[in-house]
């Protein structure tokens, strides 16, 4: 009974929910429509609850650093938790589009997010010089195609040498699209297999760690 409730029942819920959602789409059964619309609402609510996991994990990790006074870390942990509280407090109690929230958002989060996202450009630039080597057929193909695309992406060169646009157009529409399509079909097959395995209980990663009885 215990194993049924803790393991089989969640798997059954996955299967029933998935079948309902698919049945509504493929068979347009009148009875399933309102149920699936409610399910979609519930999915949004549960996803919203799940957004808090990041903050909880950070809280656990960084309070540990603070209590242990981890050297060279604990002052940053205090600052981090302060920022969590500041954003959460201003956003929840004053409003996420209030002047105050937009101020702290633009002063810190937006600038840092944009900067950190773009900083890998430096590593790519360095890697292009130090690591990209034409050592074998595959790397030669990568470099040749990449080089053509690089030159085409420079607007000045594309305007001055229109042949680059034509060559890049061919690379774009033949080898790139076809290879990506092959990858997509393979990935779709894998996703279908994974979905079916999840529904029949063969894929149980989402159950998390096992209970004593399951071990």
Partner 1 sequence: MREKLQRGRGKEVEEMAVDLASVIQIWLAALFTIWAYSFAFRDNAFFKFAEHTFVGAAAGHNIVYAVDNVRRYGWDPLSKGATLYAVIFLLGLVLYTRYHKKYFWLSRFPLAIMVGIGVGLSLRAIVTAEFIAQIQSTAGMKVVGVDSFTAFNNLLFIVIVLAVVYYFVFTFPVLHGGSRGAISTFARWAMMAAFGYSFANALLSRITMIFGRLDYVMNTWLPLPGAILALPLALILLIYSMIPAKKRPWPK
Partner 2 sequence: MSSLWKKLEDVPREVLYGLFLLAFIIPMLSPFGLPIPISADVRKWFATIDALPAGSTIMIDMGYSAGGEPELGPYAVAVTHHIFKKGKLKSIYMATSIDGVQLWETLMAEVKPEQYGAKYGTDYVHLGYMAGTETAMAKVGTGPMPSTDYKGNSIAQMPVMEGIKDATSFKLLICYTTGGDQSEGWVRQWVTPYKTPYLSCVLALMIPTMLPYYRAGQIVSLVSGATAGQYELLNKIPARGIKSADVISICHILIFAFVVLGNIAYYARKASEGSRKGG
* Shortest separation between residue 80's beta carbon and partner 2, angstroms: 18
162/190 with CB nearer partner 2? 162
Judged by the rule CB under 8 A, the positions of this chain that interact with partner 2 are 25, 33, 36-37, 40-41, 43-45, 47-48, 50-51, 95-97, 102, 105-106, 109-110, 113-114, 116-118, 121-122, 124-126, 128-134, 143, 146-147, 150-151, 153-160, 162, 165, 172-173, 176-177, 180-181, 184
76/109 with CB nearer partner 2? 109
Distance CA 137, CA 143 (A): 10
* Shortest separation between residue 22's beta carbon and partner 1, angstroms: 5
- Residue 34 interacts with, from partner 1, partner 2, none (CB under 5-8 Å by kind): none
* Shortest separation between residue 69's beta carbon and partner 1, angstroms: 16
- Residue 3 interacts with, from partner 2, partner 1, none (CB under 5-8 Å by kind): none
- Residue 134 interacts with, from partner 1, partner 2, none (CB under 5-8 Å by kind): partner 2
77/90 with CB nearer partner 2? 90
Residue 118 structure tokens: 């773009």
Angle at 207 between CA 31 and CA 11, to 5 degrees: 35
* Shortest separation between residue 81's beta carbon and partner 1, angstroms: 7
HEC string of the chain?
CHHHHHHHHHHHHHHHHHHHHHHHHHCCCCCHHHHHHHHHHHHHHHHHHHCCHHHHHHHHHHHHHHHHCCCCCHHHHHHHHHHHHHHHHHHHHCCCCCHHHHHHHHHHHHHHHHHHHHCHHHHHHHHHHHCCCCCCHHHHHHHHHHHHHHHHHCHHHHHHCCHHHHHHHHHHHHHHHHHHHHHHHHHHHHHHHHHHHHHCCCCCHHHCCCCCCCC
* Shortest separation between residue 201's beta carbon and partner 2, angstroms: 22
146/201 with CB nearer partner 2? 146
């Amino acid at each position: 009974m215990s194993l049924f409730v803790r393991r089989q029942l969640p798997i059954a819920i996955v299967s029933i929910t998935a079948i309902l959602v698919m049945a509504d789409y493929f068979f347009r059964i009148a009875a399933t429509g309102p149920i699936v619309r409610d399910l979609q609402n519930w999915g949004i609510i549960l996803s919203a609850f799940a957004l808090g996991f990041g903050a909880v994990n950070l809280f656990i990790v960084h309070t540990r650093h603070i209590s242990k006074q981890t050297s060279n870390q604990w002052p940053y942990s205090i600052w981090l938790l302060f920022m969590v509280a500041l954003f959460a407090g201003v956003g929840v109690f004053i409003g996420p589009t209030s002047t105050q929230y937009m101020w702290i958002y633009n002063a810190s989060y937006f600038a840092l997010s944009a900067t950190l996202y773009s900083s890998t450009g430096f590593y790519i630039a360095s890697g292009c010089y130090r690591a990209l080597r034409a050592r074998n057929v595959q790397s030669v193909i990568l470099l040749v195609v990449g080089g053509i695309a690089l030159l085409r992406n420079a607007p000045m060169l594309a305007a001055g040498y229109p042949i680059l646009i034509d060559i890049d157009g061919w690379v774009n529409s033949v080898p790139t699209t076809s290879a990506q399509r092959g990858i997509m079909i393979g990935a779709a097959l894998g996703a279908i297999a994974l979905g079916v395995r999840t529904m029949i209980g063969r894929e149980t990663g989402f159950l998390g760690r096992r209970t004593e009885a399951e071990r």
